[in-house]
Structure 1
Amino acid sequence: MRTMMGLAAGLLLASLMVGCGQSEAERQAEEARKAAEAAAKQMEAATTEAAKQVEAATREMGSQMQSAAAEMSKAGAEMAAAAKTEGAAAAATMMQAGANAAVAAASATQTAAAAMSSAATTAAVKTALAAAAGVEASAINVDTSADGRVVTLKGTVKTAAAKAAAEKAAQAAAKTATVKNELIVP
């Protein structure tokens, strides 16, 4: 009888211990939840960085537009002064000053547009990296050339597969740019 009670107590204790442990499915679900949280944090960081870059490019564009406006104002003053003093020769001076102002405005607009395009490309690539499976986006620095034609990936990734996945994600996000993959696998 004692042996039967000891055996029953042992079985009861064993079943309680098994019931209290975390099942494999529960453990996998917890790992998946943690991975999703990490990916969400990476996405948030990439989005924040992209917003900062777009804001900086917007400020630069505003500065360049103010510079172009000042140049146009200066050209207008030159035209008015020439018109008062030189008559017919003033017309030629005014036309040249107007042409110079137009060139300055076009150049400033072009430079600002390129800066905006470059920032948008960087933001798109960072977002794609954050969403890519197996890629730790926070460890990757994305540089886009001023003309937006070259995107360079720098940093360290854990595996060759992560390096390839990062390049693939960057190329998909920056379709018209050349992607230079300078990522290092230790």
Structure 2
Amino acid sequence: MSLPETTEKATFAAGCFWGVEHFFRKHFTGKGLLDARVGYIGGDTAHPTYRSVCTGKTGHAEALQILYNPSEVTYEKLLEFFFQMHDPTTVDRQGPDVGSQYRSAIFFHNDQQEKSARRILEKAQVQWYKVDLATQVIPAGEWYDAEDYHQLYLDNNPGGYECPSHYVRNFPPLT
């Protein structure tokens, strides 16, 4: 795949990565999303597997890494959608999925992403949720792609598991 020179990367953890990938692809395909991969980030185990991450002992989160065209969709719009499509109020949990691998986190790739993430988190906290959010804003470390069968999982398994916390909340635009 040939990517534009302006391609940027965004990395989010919002619970079970199958639903996160499915929602972002559904919402942003043809609107700036160039590619998306599910995988693991934020831990201290090299080359983790799904089985090892599910133990909660690797420190990794199930996450989505997006390649996007910033002239078609801004990082801020991706952040707003991130806060709309999962429950950022719970620590290490999305619905019935419990453990640090299901935490809410924004893994930033540069200073501007960190500033934007903190600004949008604050706005979402004050304007939408009105409680302290559990979302972590942390530097992106080493990324590990999940096994091939996890990529496009819900497209390939239409009846597959979807976390009940993953749905798009109807909030007014952030100001």
* Interval of TM-score (by shorter of Structure 1 and Structure 2): under 0.3
Q: Which structure carries more helix by proportion?
A: 1
TM-score (norm 2): 0.23
| TM-score for the superposition, normalised by structure 1 | 0.22
Compare relative contact order (CA 8 Å, sep 6+) and give the higher one, 1 or 2.
2
Give 1 or 2 for the bigger CA radius of gyration: 1
Q: Which has the higher strand share?
A: 2
